Structure 1
Amino acid sequence: MELPEDYIAGSSMQYRDTKHLIEEFKNELMQMHGKCLDIGCGPGQVTKEILLPLLPDDAEVIGVDISQEMVNYARKKFADKRLSYIVLDIESPNLPKDQIECYHNIVSFYCIHWCNDMWFTFKNIYKLLQPEGKALVMFLAYNIGFEAYIRLKPRFQPYLEDAHRYVPYFQRVRCKNMRASLQEILQNVGFKILHVSNREKSFEYSKTDLQNSAHAINPFVKRFPNEKMKKDFLEQLINEVMSFQDAHITLKNKNNQQDIILTYNLLVAYVQKPPAVA
């Protein structure tokens, strides 16, 4: 996930879903004055093209990502006088002191499912927000495609030793009621809940598009020592996904090729940090 141009080319689903969510919460975003943090900004395209235009003129956006490559690309390709980018790990046990209670608002789209400890991640978001600050987040709850990592693990040792780590959090812990579990986490952290929902979505891919998407978000491709092994892994990954006998996968023939309709779940939360105690 450190290939900015590949990510932009292969993230049509993420771009579409984020655009739809931002449109849905347009009125709330138009009230986000002051400093706004975008967690998991990636190459900066969504931050610059979709988020920034909706925010008030007095809003300043700081895009953060764990990847230095992504941040460097965003600074070069998606700069703006009201926009800056820095490296930050939202799961860090030692957040920079100058970032604590620094932000009036926080957003995050298609990022938090990568985090290992969901409670700790939201606790850090809570720390970064000023009192009465608000956060809007959207992330994957379930996507059957990630199960292919687990199936391929025996074939690609040692490159996939930590494959379970990269399955979306609520899918990884086999959560039966993802919405209720997220709500409980948010309440335990201390947030006032304004909205929580679990949404079923779908996206249609050609086999080539699915492979491009898998390459764009894949945490393993840089581990392979040569292009041949990487290509073989990606081909087997897509074949594995298309072999699933699951309600989340629909195959259909189109234009003399087999396309795939992938059904998945997104969790959305809009929360507020309570006022400071007098």
Structure 2
Amino acid sequence: MHMVEEYINASRSQHRDASEIIEEFKKQISEMKGKCIDIGCGPGDVSNNLILPRLSPEAELVGADISTAMIDHAKQKYQNEKRMSFLQLDIETPIFPDEELERYSNVLSFYCLHWCQNPRIAFENIYNLLKPEGSALVMFLAWNNGFDAYIKLSEDPRFKSYMTDASRFVPYFHRCNSQASLRDMLKDVGFEILHCSRREKSFVYQNMEIFKRHMIAVNPFISRMPDHLREEFEDVMLRELVSLKILIPKESDDGPQGSSILDKYYIFVAHMKKPPDTCSKTH
């Protein structure tokens, strides 16, 4: 997701879900002091508008993202915010920068960790980021049938050569979508689990155009398509995704184009703590 403006204009569902979790855990967030980090901050709007105002006045926030474009945008837009800075960081890297180890009192992350091929490494790195007794609050996708469309289209002769790594973009927990799997992983990493839940969610896209903008903003393959295939790929991907969703007809003569699209999916929410007097993990 390197298309910054497209993502900003098409991320209402992500923004809503993050806002709801931040509201639910507002007491815990208000008690977060010291240096905090928001993993997968994207363009920085959730960091600035939702997280920072909830933190203790004594806290400072570092927004981190793997995308250079996202970080450059956030640095420019929020350069005057004295309590916030931004850092390019791959939370899935097998070799973590020494200067980041045990640097943070708290970690937050919303709609990021499902993109990790190896979430075990990501959670070990979060553990390593935290000081002893530091806490982490994370929320990410557990399952969305839209990912099944990636695998189906990767077998289409027209697009196959551009989607050879399609399975890389299907989240780990999409294949083993259970709260027990996540809880076991967090315990094995060494976390004390304060909360862990799997929740059903839904979002209504008011028309096909809004749904298409969302698809374009988060789809990892569109930018790979050559010019002569891009429009065709977008149309085929859109039809495949819509076939997996629930159409809500409206009183118009536009047919499916005039329908709302109901998207049902699941998220994981976890709140955990690093025990005192612990050592950093190594891979």
Q: TM-score scaled to structure 1, two decimals?
A: 0.94
Q: Distance in 1 between matches of 2:78 and 2:161?
A: 36
Is this contact kept in 2: 1:211–1:235, CA < 8 A? no
Shift of 1:255: 4.5
Q: How does 1:172-211 map to 2 (within 5 A)?
A: 174-175=175-176, 178-205=178-205, 206-211=207-212
Q: Which residue number corresponds to residue 22 of structure 1?
A: 22
Q: Distance in 1 between matches of 2:124 and 2:78?
A: 29
Q: Distance in 2 between matches of 1:87 and 1:231?
A: 32
Shift of 1:231: 2.2
Partner deviation per Cα, 1:135-177 (whole Å, 9 max, x = no partner): 0000000001111111111221211111111112211xx215x
CA RMSD of aligned residues (A): 1.3
- Give every structure 1 segment of 4 or more consecutive aligned residues whose post-TM-superposition deviation is greater than 6 Å: none
Unaligned runs of 5+ in 2: 253-257
Is this contact kept in 1: 2:37–2:61, CA < 8 A? yes
Q: How does 1:1-278 map to 2 (within 5 A)?
A: 1-79=1-79, 80-155=81-156, 156-171=159-174, 174-175=175-176, 178-205=178-205, 206-226=207-227, 228-244=228-244, 249-256=245-252, 257-276=258-277
Q: Match of 2:131, SS?
A: strand
Is this contact kept in 1: 2:112–2:140, CA < 8 A? yes
Q: Give the aligned length.
A: 270
Shift of 1:56: 1.1
- Greater mean deviation of Cα atoms: 133-142 or 71-80: 71-80
Partner deviation per Cα, 1:5-50 (whole Å, 9 max, x = no partner): 1101011100000001000000000000000010000010110111
Unaligned runs of 5+ in 1: none
Q: Distance in 2 between matches of 1:255 and 1:165?
A: 40
- Greater mean deviation of Cα atoms: 203-212 or 264-273: 203-212
Shift of 1:94: 1.1
Q: Distance in 2 between matches of 1:187 and 1:152?
A: 36
Task: In structure 2, give the amino acid aligned to 1:160.
Answer: M
Is this contact kept in 1: 2:132–2:278, CA < 8 A? no
Is this contact kept in 2: 1:8–1:43, CA < 8 A? yes
Shift of 1:194: 0.1
- Greater mean deviation of Cα atoms: 70-79 or 41-50: 70-79
Task: In structure 1, give the amino acid aligned to 2:243.
Answer: S
Shift of 1:277: 5.2
Q: Match of 1:154, SS?
A: coil
Q: Distance in 2 between matches of 1:52 and 1:213?
A: 26
Q: Distance in 2 between matches of 1:221 and 1:85?
A: 27
Q: Distance in 2 between matches of 1:243 and 1:121?
A: 33
Shift of 1:229: 2.1
Task: In structure 1, give the amino acid aligned to 2:193.
Answer: I
Shift of 1:78: 2.7
Q: Distance in 2 between matches of 1:142 and 1:58?
A: 36
Cα distance change, pair 277–136 in 1 and its aligned pair in 2 (3 A): closer
Shift of 1:233: 1.3
Q: Distance in 2 between matches of 1:255 and 1:95?
A: 55
